[in-house]
Amino acid sequence: MRIIGLDIHRAFAEAVAWEDGRLRRLGRVDMRRDLLAAFAAKLSPNDVGVIEATGNATSATAVVAPHVKKVGIGNPKQVRIIAYAKIKTTIEADVLAQLYASGFLPEVWIADEPTQALRRQVTRRNQIVRQRSRLKTVIQSILHSHLIPSCPHADLCGAKGRTWLIEQVVPQD
């Protein structure tokens, strides 16, 4: 069994292979989906992938997983060696592969796809609600700066509030 360690960055990943107690550097892998898939296609179904938990680790896992036996995501907070490494490139991929090989890699739980989709939906909704709140605050600030009284309706962005807002005279600045 070969263990493939991937230290993922924004545009590339450093890849190493741990096999029979030896590390071999596989080089940099471009993190664009098609190029990562081409790298993953070269892996063996008996290989195990190990990835550091980053913002795009679940997407990388989805690309690599069909080509290998298993993909583990290492928890960087619990892997103190990674947190205090002096060189932050191939060292991490090496350490991930070695820790997995020795059975000491603390892994992160990965939610299934429906749960991830629901999380993305909730996150987007929260972002929209925050944007709407900011917009209301900006509108109220503009009205206040031009001495226009507050909207008499409960919701400034509701139908009645928007109708009231259209009727207000605001300078063109």
pLDDT at 82: 58
Is-contact 48 72, C-beta < 8 A? yes
Query: What is the mean pLDDT for each group of 10 consecutive residues in the chain (173 residues)?
Result: 92 94 93 96 96 88 96 81 57 81 84 93 98 94 92 92 93 81
pLDDT for residue 89:
55
The answer to whether the CB of 38 falls within 8 A of the CB of 17 is no
CATH of domain 3-102: 3.30.420
pLDDT at 86 (0 to 100)? 54
CA distance 37 to 30: 10
Q: In which region does residue 116 sit, left (phi positive, over 0), alpha (psi from -120 to 50) or beta (all else)?
A: alpha
Domain boundaries, the chain: 3-102, 113-167
Instruction: Please give the structure tokens belonging to residue 160.
Output: 């009645």
Taking the CA atoms of residue 56, residue 21, residue 79 and residue 8 in that order, the dihedral angle to the nearest 10 degrees is: -20
Instruction: Give the angle subtended at the CA of 131 by the CAs of 128 and 132, to the nearest 5°.
Output: 85
User: d(Cα 28, Cα 14) in Å, to the nearest integer?
Assistant: 5
Please report the pLDDT score of residue 98 as a whole number. Answer: 84
Which helix or strand (DSSP H or E) is residue 28 part of?
strand 22-30
Using an 8 Å Cβ cutoff, are 51 and 96 in contact?
yes
Whole-number pLDDT of residue 99: 85
